[in-house]
A and B are shown apart, each in its own frame.
Chain A
Protein backbone atom coordinates (compact mmCIF):
# COMPACT_ATOMS: atom_id res chain seq x y z
CA UNK A 1 0.00 0.00 0.00
CA UNK A 2 1.16 3.53 -0.75
CA UNK A 3 2.54 5.42 2.22
CA UNK A 4 3.37 9.01 3.02
CA UNK A 5 6.38 10.18 1.06
CA UNK A 6 8.77 12.81 2.34
CA UNK A 7 11.65 14.40 0.55
CA UNK A 8 14.46 14.84 0.99
CA UNK A 9 15.22 12.17 3.57
CA UNK A 10 18.32 13.96 4.75
CA UNK A 11 19.25 17.62 4.50
CA UNK A 12 22.28 19.51 5.70
CA UNK A 13 22.14 23.29 5.84
CA UNK A 14 24.17 26.06 7.37
CA UNK A 15 22.90 28.65 9.82
CA UNK A 16 20.80 31.39 8.27
CA UNK A 17 20.08 29.31 5.15
CA UNK A 18 16.63 28.24 4.02
CA UNK A 19 15.20 24.76 3.61
CA UNK A 20 12.10 23.33 1.98
CA UNK A 21 10.67 19.99 3.04
CA UNK A 22 8.08 18.22 0.95
CA UNK A 23 5.34 15.80 1.88
CA UNK A 24 3.15 13.68 -0.37
CA UNK A 25 0.19 12.21 1.54
CA UNK A 26 -1.38 8.83 1.01
CA UNK A 27 -3.66 8.96 -2.04
CA UNK A 28 -7.15 10.28 -1.16
CA UNK A 29 -5.93 11.69 2.15
CA UNK A 30 -6.90 15.34 2.39
CA UNK A 31 -5.32 16.29 5.71
CA UNK A 32 -1.62 16.82 6.32
CA UNK A 33 0.20 17.39 9.61
CA UNK A 34 3.77 18.46 10.33
CA UNK A 35 5.67 17.45 13.46
CA UNK A 36 9.16 18.22 14.71
CA UNK A 37 11.13 15.74 16.82
CA UNK A 38 14.33 16.97 18.43
CA UNK A 39 17.03 14.53 19.55
CA UNK A 40 15.69 12.33 22.33
CA UNK A 41 12.40 14.23 22.37
CA UNK A 42 8.82 13.33 21.57
CA UNK A 43 7.29 14.68 18.36
CA UNK A 44 5.82 18.17 18.65
CA UNK A 45 2.97 19.35 16.44
CA UNK A 46 3.77 22.27 14.15
CA UNK A 47 0.88 22.84 11.76
CA UNK A 48 -1.84 21.06 9.81
CA UNK A 49 -3.87 21.57 6.65
CA UNK A 50 -7.23 20.30 5.50
CA UNK A 51 -8.40 20.79 1.93
CA UNK A 52 -5.56 23.26 1.33
CA UNK A 53 -6.51 25.47 4.27
CA UNK A 54 -4.61 25.69 7.55
CA UNK A 55 -6.62 23.79 10.12
CA UNK A 56 -4.52 24.02 13.26
CA UNK A 57 -1.30 25.58 14.41
CA UNK A 58 1.11 24.53 17.12
CA UNK A 59 4.50 25.68 18.23
CA UNK A 60 5.73 26.66 14.78
CA UNK A 61 8.29 29.47 14.69
CA UNK A 62 7.48 32.56 12.64
CA UNK A 63 10.51 31.70 10.50
CA UNK A 64 8.63 28.64 9.26
CA UNK A 65 5.73 28.62 6.85
CA UNK A 66 3.82 25.87 5.17
CA UNK A 67 1.11 25.30 2.62
CA UNK A 68 -0.91 22.55 1.02
CA UNK A 69 -1.29 22.48 -2.72
CA UNK A 70 -4.14 21.48 -5.02
CA UNK A 71 -2.76 17.94 -5.33
CA UNK A 72 -2.73 17.79 -1.49
CA UNK A 73 1.01 17.64 -1.17
CA UNK A 74 2.48 20.02 1.39
CA UNK A 75 5.70 21.96 1.77
CA UNK A 76 7.32 23.25 4.94
CA UNK A 77 9.54 26.26 4.31
CA UNK A 78 12.13 27.12 6.91
CA UNK A 79 14.14 30.33 6.77
CA UNK A 80 16.99 31.82 8.82
CA UNK A 81 17.85 28.35 10.05
CA UNK A 82 19.25 28.02 13.55
CA UNK A 83 21.24 25.21 15.14
CA UNK A 84 18.21 24.37 17.25
CA UNK A 85 16.20 23.58 14.14
CA UNK A 86 18.20 20.38 13.73
CA UNK A 87 15.60 17.67 14.13
CA UNK A 88 13.58 14.99 12.46
CA UNK A 89 10.58 16.47 10.67
CA UNK A 90 7.60 14.22 10.14
CA UNK A 91 4.66 14.64 7.91
CA UNK A 92 1.50 12.66 8.56
CA UNK A 93 -1.70 12.35 6.61
CA UNK A 94 -5.23 11.31 7.36
CA UNK A 95 -8.59 11.13 5.66
CA UNK A 96 -10.76 13.88 7.05
CA UNK A 97 -10.48 16.19 10.01
CA UNK A 98 -12.08 14.12 12.74
CA UNK A 99 -9.59 13.21 15.42
CA UNK A 100 -10.68 9.59 15.34
CA UNK A 101 -9.01 9.16 12.00
CA UNK A 102 -5.60 7.56 12.29
CA UNK A 103 -2.64 9.61 11.21
CA UNK A 104 -0.11 7.83 9.03
CA UNK A 105 3.42 9.10 9.30
CA UNK A 106 6.09 9.41 6.66
CA UNK A 107 9.69 8.30 7.24
CA UNK A 108 10.74 11.83 8.15
CA UNK A 109 13.31 14.31 6.93
CA UNK A 110 16.41 14.60 9.07
CA UNK A 111 17.56 18.21 9.01
CA UNK A 112 21.01 19.05 10.29
CA UNK A 113 21.94 22.70 10.67
CA UNK A 114 25.66 23.40 11.02
Chain B
Protein backbone atom coordinates (compact mmCIF):
# COMPACT_ATOMS: atom_id res chain seq x y z
CA UNK B 1 0.00 0.00 0.00
CA UNK B 2 1.19 3.51 -0.77
CA UNK B 3 -0.36 5.05 2.27
CA UNK B 4 -0.20 2.81 5.26
CA UNK B 5 -1.38 -0.20 7.05
CA UNK B 6 -4.71 -1.48 8.18
CA UNK B 7 -4.93 -3.53 11.29
CA UNK B 8 -5.93 -6.27 11.54
CA UNK B 9 -5.69 -7.66 8.01
CA UNK B 10 -8.43 -10.14 8.83
CA UNK B 11 -11.01 -10.21 11.61
CA UNK B 12 -13.59 -12.88 12.39
CA UNK B 13 -16.24 -12.29 15.05
CA UNK B 14 -19.66 -13.55 16.08
CA UNK B 15 -22.81 -11.80 14.98
CA UNK B 16 -23.84 -9.17 17.49
CA UNK B 17 -20.29 -8.39 18.61
CA UNK B 18 -18.52 -5.13 17.85
CA UNK B 19 -15.79 -4.96 15.23
CA UNK B 20 -12.93 -2.48 15.36
CA UNK B 21 -10.57 -1.83 12.48
CA UNK B 22 -7.60 0.52 12.51
CA UNK B 23 -5.86 2.44 9.79
CA UNK B 24 -2.60 4.35 9.78
CA UNK B 25 -1.42 6.80 7.17
CA UNK B 26 1.80 8.60 6.38
CA UNK B 27 1.13 12.06 4.99
CA UNK B 28 -0.85 15.04 6.19
CA UNK B 29 -4.48 14.88 5.13
CA UNK B 30 -7.58 17.01 4.75
CA UNK B 31 -9.95 14.11 5.26
CA UNK B 32 -10.12 10.37 5.62
CA UNK B 33 -12.82 8.11 4.23
CA UNK B 34 -13.88 4.55 4.89
CA UNK B 35 -15.19 2.25 2.17
CA UNK B 36 -16.70 -1.23 2.20
CA UNK B 37 -16.16 -3.76 -0.56
CA UNK B 38 -18.07 -6.98 -0.86
CA UNK B 39 -16.05 -9.74 -2.48
CA UNK B 40 -14.95 -8.66 -5.94
CA UNK B 41 -17.52 -5.89 -6.10
CA UNK B 42 -17.58 -2.11 -6.03
CA UNK B 43 -16.50 0.19 -3.24
CA UNK B 44 -19.31 1.60 -1.15
CA UNK B 45 -18.65 4.88 0.62
CA UNK B 46 -19.35 4.63 4.35
CA UNK B 47 -18.22 7.80 6.04
CA UNK B 48 -15.90 10.79 5.64
CA UNK B 49 -14.16 12.48 8.54
CA UNK B 50 -12.34 15.76 8.15
CA UNK B 51 -8.95 16.48 9.67
CA UNK B 52 -10.46 18.91 12.18
CA UNK B 53 -12.92 16.29 13.45
CA UNK B 54 -12.10 13.71 16.07
CA UNK B 55 -15.15 11.48 15.94
CA UNK B 56 -18.09 10.89 13.66
CA UNK B 57 -21.11 8.61 13.81
CA UNK B 58 -23.35 7.16 11.14
CA UNK B 59 -25.87 4.55 12.23
CA UNK B 60 -23.90 1.61 13.65
CA UNK B 61 -20.61 3.11 12.48
CA UNK B 62 -18.28 5.17 14.61
CA UNK B 63 -15.08 6.63 13.18
CA UNK B 64 -12.32 8.31 15.12
CA UNK B 65 -9.38 10.26 13.77
CA UNK B 66 -6.14 11.08 15.57
CA UNK B 67 -4.07 13.32 13.32
CA UNK B 68 -1.20 13.46 15.82
CA UNK B 69 -0.81 9.70 15.50
CA UNK B 70 -1.89 9.64 11.85
CA UNK B 71 -4.42 6.95 12.60
CA UNK B 72 -8.13 6.26 12.37
CA UNK B 73 -10.43 3.56 13.62
CA UNK B 74 -13.75 2.24 12.39
CA UNK B 75 -16.09 0.64 14.88
CA UNK B 76 -19.10 -1.35 13.72
CA UNK B 77 -21.46 -2.04 16.59
CA UNK B 78 -23.91 -4.96 16.85
CA UNK B 79 -22.44 -6.63 13.77
CA UNK B 80 -24.60 -8.51 11.30
CA UNK B 81 -23.80 -11.23 8.79
CA UNK B 82 -24.36 -8.66 6.03
CA UNK B 83 -21.40 -6.66 7.37
CA UNK B 84 -19.06 -9.37 6.06
CA UNK B 85 -16.82 -7.52 3.60
CA UNK B 86 -13.44 -5.87 3.21
CA UNK B 87 -13.08 -2.41 4.71
CA UNK B 88 -10.64 0.15 3.37
CA UNK B 89 -9.59 3.51 4.65
CA UNK B 90 -8.60 6.10 2.08
CA UNK B 91 -6.96 9.49 2.45
CA UNK B 92 -6.57 12.46 0.18
CA UNK B 93 -2.78 12.31 0.38
CA UNK B 94 -2.10 15.85 1.45
CA UNK B 95 -5.01 17.50 -0.28
CA UNK B 96 -4.75 15.86 -3.67
CA UNK B 97 -7.96 14.74 -5.31
CA UNK B 98 -6.85 11.16 -5.68
CA UNK B 99 -7.56 8.69 -2.91
CA UNK B 100 -4.77 6.63 -1.41
CA UNK B 101 -6.07 3.39 0.07
CA UNK B 102 -4.87 1.26 2.93
CA UNK B 103 -4.52 -2.47 2.50
CA UNK B 104 -7.93 -3.24 3.92
CA UNK B 105 -9.33 -5.42 6.66
CA UNK B 106 -11.28 -8.51 5.69
CA UNK B 107 -14.14 -8.79 8.18
CA UNK B 108 -16.11 -12.02 8.59
CA UNK B 109 -19.23 -12.08 10.74
CA UNK B 110 -20.16 -15.58 11.82
CA UNK B 111 -23.88 -16.24 12.38
- Residues of A near any B CB (own CB < 8 A): 31, 33, 35, 42-45, 48, 50, 55-56, 58, 88, 90, 92, 94, 97-100, 102-108, 110
Q: Which residue of A lies closest to B47 (CB)?
A: A102
Given A99-B31, A102-B33, decide whether A43 and B92 contact each other with a Cβ distance below 8 A.
no
- Do A45 and B99 touch (CB < 8 A)? yes
Q: Which residues of chain A have C-beta atoms less than 8 A from B43's C-beta?
A: 43, 90, 92, 105
**Which of B35, B95, B98, B103 meets A33, CB within 8 Å?**
B98
Q: Which residues of chain B have C-beta atoms less than 8 A from A105's C-beta?
A: 35, 42-45
Q: Does B88 lie at the interface of the complex (its beta carbon under 8 Å from any beta carbon of A)?
A: yes
Q: Which residue of B lies closest to A59 (CB)?
A: B2
- Do B48 and A42 touch (CB < 8 A)? no
Annotate B74-106 by CB proximity to A: 1 below 8 A, 0 otherwise.
000000000000001000100111111111100
Q: Which residues of chain B have C-beta atoms less than 8 A from A98's C-beta?
A: 97
- Residues of B near any A CB (own CB < 8 A): 1-2, 30-31, 33, 35, 40-45, 48, 50, 88, 92, 95-104
- Distance in angstroms between the alpha carbons of A17 and B57 in the assembled complex: 47
**Which of A33, A56, A90, A102 meets B42, CB within 8 Å?**
A90
- Distance in angstroms between the alpha carbons of A100 and B96 in the assembled complex: 10
**25 examples of A-B residue contacts, CB within 8 angstroms:** A33-B98, A42-B101, A43-B43, A43-B101, A44-B2, A56-B96, A56-B97, A56-B98, A58-B98, A88-B40, A90-B42, A92-B99, A94-B97, A97-B97, A99-B30, A99-B97, A100-B30, A100-B50, A100-B92, A103-B33, A103-B99, A104-B45, A107-B42, A108-B41, A108-B42
Given A90-B43, A99-B30, A110-B40, decide whether A45 and B98 contact each other with a Cβ distance below 8 A.
yes
Given contacts A42-B104, A99-B92, A108-B41, 5 further A-B contacts (CB under 8 A): A44-B101, A98-B97, A99-B95, A100-B31, A100-B50
